[in-house]
Each structure stands twice: as structure tokens, then as C-alpha cells.
Chain A
């Protein structure tokens, strides 16, 4: 399967690669300050560019005003049952 790919300022990022990077560090992605150009220059406080998702596609926000993408805490995953013992899991779910 070809991964979903989005172009960002001449770079190509895969969503999976992006997520992998995102979960390993505190910040999801940040461009170096020179990359921000005039936007950061007019900001009262230095802001860092944010890469996030919009409508399930990668979205690059140069203003630094959007909230970075955070992996959902359980609701959108199998997390609600991950605490189950192997026996309890298999009691409820035979063929996942």
C-alpha cells in the first residue's frame, strides 16, 4: 500500500513517518526559525511552525497558532481493551 503523501514546502512526508516521529518526541514537528520568515518576525512571541492534520491530510501551519496533532488517547483505537489479560481478551474477542 502506498502511504498517503503530502507535499510540504518542497518536502515529502509520509503520514506514518510523521506519526512515528511525532510519538517519539514532545513536539510533533517544528521548522527552524529562519524557515518561518516574516510570520514569526511579526509575532509578539516567537512561534514555531506546526505540522498537523486537517481533513485527514497533512497541514502545515506557519503561524504557529494551531494546536499540534496529538495521537488520540484511546477513543480512536483498541486502547480501551489493552489492559485486559490474554484470557479476558479472548473471552470477549475471538476473531479480532
Chain B
């Protein structure tokens, strides 16, 4: 029997949705631009069954992929579970069989040795295929027409890591994908396998090396010459897993690094630059200027996730769980192996920052992310007292001038990750739209907002209304019409 009644946080707007959906010709307010055709593909998670342990991480939620399909000003919505072996096993057993986040010792014995992934983090369109990614397993291929799950993909048997990042980077000039897996040879190993895969999907290069210690390597950044690999604060061990804990604990004494790997280099060429003891979960972009390799990212002061508790038992500090847009500069000519550190904007932001993806690895000007604008109203009667917990605005952060332009979603709304959509393939940087899903707490529904990225203060140009709450998103990607064989 499915019973969420003893899950006190899964109520109201936050109750699990648990359904698949098709909405044709969605209701909309305003006029959806006809100059963008393709799909906004979202990946996130929801609980098919309640978690086996109350202190599990929300990152264990079952993967759910959805798509707003844009075609000539009309938008259709489709959402489907990612039917991993784990999902199918739970469904057959009518209960949650899997235990804590990335800890197989907490699973039901009937699913020993199962692929535990829930494939719930990032959608990827590459080489004509659509994938659902999570960093604990191979990519799961999904049919872009139907969103039905096809299965794991190992790039014709040439991708040997057991895991695949949720944040591969595609070089816009070569079309190559730089990707990697950590804990690449199994649970609690510090092996990292770094790959180059050409635009046809063929593995062309593999580099194997060791991380300084076993830690979360959630995201990377690339330049035309280098790959930058942040390693920070989260630690794990087999003992920890056997004690029944979640995979990661936070060690405030663990060093933080930015690994700089030449794209054509060998393992011996890697330099691990020491960084402040913070958490770089996601990156914005990087570039190489002479001897300097520069990383820009929304970086947390300390542990952002209380469900990955401190190993010393100290309480989680919400003040330090905030992210700021920062720049780390690694000088390959320096001898002390320390990053220079700058904070570029004094306001805290969501760490789900994005850029115009056409500028990945290249000099760029704008970063986009969401934040809580406390100057704007929040209707607590209709939406609940969540004013301090919502991201009610998207910002365009101008890294050249330090200025910020803002879009406000509404006084009962919170915005999920933003995505930049260029107006045309050859549009200059920043000429396009910001899109993202807003949670409307008052109306109990989700709304896809579309705003002109150069006129954010004008509000949205259109809003696509779903008559229900869309499954929560972790990451979303815009996929152009010609990138995938859409229906």
C-alpha cells in the first residue's frame, strides 16, 4: 500500500505528483515566440514510493523527464518516469526497496547488485540521442519522441567508467563532448576517467587518473586547452556506508582543489591548485588567458546540503550554505599552487547558474541564475510563509560591468533553474530568452515563464500554464529542433 500520510513534509504543494502526463496545445498567457523551435527538456525527481529512511537525501527521488515542445508558437507538454531497473523493481514490489543515497548496504536484499541509479539530474542531447544523467551510473537513453526509457548507454562499449557525470561539457567549436566518471571503477574508489567523445558519439580519448581523495566531482568546466575539476569537502568511506549512512559527509577540514588538466595531456600533467574550503557544486564557465586558467562559478561558503551532515557532528549552518558568484584564477606559472579568489557579486544566488551555452569554454559576458529578491512582495496568505525560501527572480549578471538586470516571476511564485535560449543560432551573446518553470504556490500549478533576456524588467513575454504541479526539476536544457528527432 502506498502511504505518504506519515511524510509530514510531503503535503500541499510539496506532495508527490506520481503521474505521467501529456498536455497538447498548452494554455498560455501572452504569445510564445515563433522564432524558437525545439524543446525545453527537464529532468528531476519525485517519490514513486516513500523513502525507506526518513533521513535519506532528496537526491534519491525517482527520475522523471519532461519536455515542453515548442513548434511554431504552440507548446505541448509531456512527462514520463525514467524507467530504470530500480524504478521497475520498486513498482513490481509495490514499495521502496532501495535505501539511502548511494549506499547499497541499506537496500532490501532482493535488489543486491542492482543498478541503483534513479537517473534524475540532467538531460543531455548529444549525437542525436537524448539521455537522462546521474553521476552514479551510465547515461540512460530516452526516446525523444515518446520519452520512453531505452536503457543505459556506454558509447559503443568504449566508455569504461562505471559512472558518468551529470555535467558533461560540449565544446561549441569542435562539437566534442568532454565527460568523465568519478568512483569510476566502483564504490569508494578515487579513480577518475576523463573522456573526449566526438560529435558523432565515438570515444576518441580516455585519461585515467586519481583524485586527491574520494569526493564528489559534480561538475567541471572547460577551456579550449584545459579541463578544470573542482574537488571539495564531501568525504566518504566504505566504513561509513557499512554504518548505514548516506554516501557523503561534510568535512570542513578537507582541502578543496581545482584540478587543471591539459585537454591533450597525460595524468602526470595534472596540477591540483588549492582553493578556499568551500563547495563548488556547479560551474558557470572557464577560459585560458596566457598562463592563467580562470574558473567562474556560484560557490557556496560551506556545505549546502544538510542531508549530507558534518562528519564531526557539528550542526549545519544555513548562513554558510549560501552561494556567491566567484572567480578562481589558477596561474600555471605560479609555484605555490594556490588559486586567486574573487567574489564578483555580493548578493547570494542559486548555484544553478547558466550561461549562453554557445560560449562554453570561450570568453563570455553574461551569467544567469535565480535569487531571492527581498524587495519584491510575497503573498504569504495565499502561498504560505516561504518568502525567505523562494527564488522569485531571475538575474542577468554582467561580468564585464558588475551590473545585474532582474526578472520577477510573481508574488506567489518560486523559480526553478533558468535556461538561456538564443533567438537564432547566429544571435550575439545574450540575444534570446530566459525560460524556466515557476512554482505557483497559490494556484497549485507550474508555469513555464519566457522572458526576453535583454529586457528582463519588462516581465515575461509569455507564460505556459500547466493545470497541475510539474515534477520538480533539477536541471533543464534547451534542445534545438535540429538536434533530436522530435515528434
Contact = CB atoms under 8 A, between A and B. Distances in A.
Interface of A: 1-2, 16, 19-20, 23, 71-72, 74-82, 84, 86-96
Contact of A91 (B307, B381, B459): B307
Contacts of A75: 12
B382 A19 contact: yes
Contacts of A95: 44, 350, 352, 416-417, 472-474
Contacts of B391: 96
B58 interface: yes
Contacts of A76: 12-13, 382, 441-444
Contacts of A74: 12, 384
Given A76-B442, A80-B13, 15 more contacts: A1-B30, A1-B463, A19-B382, A20-B379, A76-B382, A76-B444, A77-B383, A79-B383, A87-B318, A90-B321, A93-B9, A93-B14, A94-B58, A96-B389, A96-B416
Contact of B385 (A20, A79, A88, A90): A79
Contact of B58 (A84, A86, A93): A93
B206 interface: no
A65 B323 CA distance: 53
17 contacts: A23-B379, A72-B382, A74-B12, A75-B12, A76-B13, A76-B442, A76-B443, A76-B444, A79-B12, A79-B384, A81-B11, A90-B305, A90-B307, A90-B316, A92-B58, A95-B474, A96-B414
A7 to B, nearest CB: 18
A20 B416 CA distance: 25
A90 B307 CA distance: 8
Contacts of B307: 90-91
A23 B381 CA distance: 7
Contact of A77 (B13, B352, B459, B460): B13
Nearest to A4: B29
B384 A78 contact: yes
B186 interface: no
Given A77-B384, A95-B416, A96-B414, A1 B318 contact: no
B352 A81 contact: no
A72 B13 CA distance: 13
A87 B350 CA distance: 16
Interface string B387-415: 01111000000000000000000111010
Nearest to B417: A95
Q: Tell me the dominant secondary structure on chain B's binding face.
A: loop
Interface in B464-486: 472-474
Interface in B58-76: 58-59
Contacts of B11: 80-81
Interface residues of B, number: 49
B163 interface: no
A80 B390 contact: no
Contacts of B386: 78, 81-82, 96
Interface string B407-443: 0001110101100000000000000000000010111
A6 to B, nearest CB: 15
A81 B382 contact: no
Q: Considering the complex of A and B, which 9 residue pairs feature the smallest CB-CB distances, nearest first?
A: A78-B384, A80-B11, A79-B384, A80-B12, A82-B385, A77-B384, A86-B318, A23-B381, A78-B386
Contacts of B441: 76-78
Given A1-B463, A79-B384, A92 B411 contact: no
A90 B318 contact: yes
A16 B379 CA distance: 9
A10 B416 CA distance: 39
Contacts of A78: 12-14, 383-386, 441
A92 B29 contact: no
B306 interface: yes
A23 B391 CA distance: 23
Contacts of A82: 384-386
A76 B443 CA distance: 7
Contacts of B350: 95
A93 B305 CA distance: 10
Nearest to B379: A19
Nearest to B386: A78
Given A93-B58, A96-B439, A77 B318 contact: no
A64 B128 CA distance: 62
Q: Which of A1, A84, A93 has the most CB of B within 10 A?
A: A1
Contacts of B414: 96
B141 to A, nearest CB: 25
B417 to A, nearest CB: 7
A80 B30 CA distance: 32
Contacts of B390: 96
Contact of A92 (B9, B13, B388): B9
A74 B383 CA distance: 8
Contact of B382 (A2, A77, A80, A93): A77
